[in-house]
Amino acid sequence: MGLITVSARDVHRLLDDAARPGSTYQRVFTDLAAAMHGRPVADILPLLRAAATDAQLGFTGADLAEQADAISRGARYELRVQVTDR
């Protein structure tokens, strides 16, 4: 389980929002989970890292590795999001 802190003004980069169409980290993660199940973590990790960079999210390397492992195994991944007012 991961934890990320995101400002209220940037939460749209992480989570899908019908009012703001476009790619979000959530959408990329979901697409990767569907397409990369069973693939090696080493194949998934750079894709997640690029998505996090594009979305300007501060996931740690350990968080991304944990997410890649969950995708590889087809396991659920729980991410706790702390939203700040800054």
Q: Which of 13-17, 47-51, 59-63, 75-79 has the lowest mean pLDDT?
A: 13-17
User: Across-strand partners of 79?
Assistant: 2
Residue 43: predicted pLDDT: 98
Q: What is the DSSP string of 31-73?
A: HHHHHHTTS-HHHHHHHHHHHHHHTT----HHHHHHHHHHHHH
Q: Which residues lie closer than 8 Å to 53 by C-beta, 6 or more apart?
A: none
What is the value of pTM for the model shown?
0.88
The neighbour count for residue 52, using CB atoms within 10 Å, is 22
Question: Model confidence over 29-47: pLDDT tens digits?
Answer: 999 999 999 999 999 999 9
Show the tokens assigned to 77. Answer: 């991944």
